[in-house]
Structure 1
Amino acid sequence: MNERFPGDWLRLREPADHAARSHSLVERLRLKWCRGRGSLKITDLGSGTGSNLRYLAPRLPVPQQWTLVDHDPELLGRVTRPADAGPLSLHTERMDLRDWALPATGTDLVTASALLDLVSADWLDRLVRECAGQGAAVLLVLSYDGDVTWTAPDPGDAFVRTAVNAHQEREKGLGAALGPQATPEAATRFRNAGYRVWTEASPWHLDAGSLPLADPLIAGWVNAAAEIFPEHAGTLRDWGARRLEALRSGRTGLRVGHRDLLALPDAR
């Protein structure tokens, strides 16, 4: 996988990620999957610095053995465990997700945050096969769904959204990315593999207090859109400056759509 995310960006987005996540899906996982288990073996794909671990571990009521998988050793070196979790063991594994497979020793839960929209259909098929082969539960969260909504519209919004969504479907190192279609594609595949599947919206809601996150987010959108339409680079930069100033002044808010997915083997 060739997509790289600076640790500072992951730090900035972690509070927004945690605030956005679906509580009902985690509660369903806790009640339907964790009940009666003495412990859980959990594999976290594309783990970064461990944001998923820090959110989920304190909410699961059993001892846990986490394996955090990422291709970036710098990010793995910055993993910190949650202070409020119960009994927990932690192992990090540097691995390119092109070469990934579940450990032969078994996994009870496979999870990933902000990953699914970056993978290809073939990679997703392999994930479904691996999980179904071990009867593992699956929690895939914060997958971008293509919806970017400003409370006060600007004439350039639709053009930028279209360009950004087209960029999301470009190659990210795992084949042509699924982009905004990732969650519905995953839901269909897991259902076809005999899973029960639930999805919930998990959008970011950003405002004038979110500028440290919104500034690099909007800049990233401008750069992505300019890669699709380089002839409009100047117009796109102007749009980015207008939108950041409107957010800073409180004249607009911003909703960035994501979706969470929980898939449980049908026996559960």
Structure 2
Amino acid sequence: MTEPVPVSHPVDETDADTARFYRGVLETLNASSLPYLIGGAYAFNRHTDVNRPTRDLDIFIRRADFDRIGEALRAAGYQCELTYPHWLGKVHHQEVYIDLIFSSGNAIAEVDDAWFEHASPGEVLGVPVKICPAEEMIWSKAFIMEKERFDGADIAHLIRARGHLLDWPRMFRRFEPHWRVLLSHLVLFGFVYPAHRDIVPAAIMDELIERLHKETHSEPPDSSLCLGTLLSREQYLNDIRREGLQDGRIAPVGKMTPEDTEQWTRAISDDHDPD
């Protein structure tokens, strides 16, 4: 378990009504002994000491716990809905909301027991909480490469701040079989912070580069698969819809159903990914 970095939380600067909403939800979950983790900007600030504002509170949970958490929150007077069955729900209070996240938008980074086993203690608005591990944050953020949002800078900051404490073998395993995504971010890290490139263990880079070498000198697969949809829900739709390539998000390659992807696509025009 990594040691927490004592920094301020952006929630401390929010308006009083929103703060009461956040605190009430957290206290309800604690009183019900329901497991959850704090992620998003609050966890990012905690791990990196980079303070930035955020538009909402991100709570990470197991999918199996969603129904119980929803019941507890509704009993306390909150509105709770399963917004996207493949990755999140929301708790509403007037114009403010909290995301209840149990996976990533591409359904890859599913919250499991290891998230909780490696979480660190923290506090939000005076309420004791657990903070998402940096390894899982890097894993889930690594696939966010939308036209309007790229989380590569977050990953670089997390590696620079926590790289000496990261469980690199565990994080490496998280990226299987999408190891090229990890390699791309580690290459960029060395570009962004050349004086800190030794933070990334040489054994990790050697293994990834060896894999790349083997793939480069082997025949490409006979497949019409497009994995770009794991990185952006919008920018590879032409490949799927017009060129007929196989959507890498859909089972058996991915973890989503056609209904999941269709709902997620319809929401492009009026929805934005959480932190």
Greater length-normalized contact order (CA 8 Å, ≥ 6 residues apart): 1
Greater strand content: 1
| TM-score where L is the length of structure 2 | 0.30
| TM-score where L is the length of structure 1 | 0.31
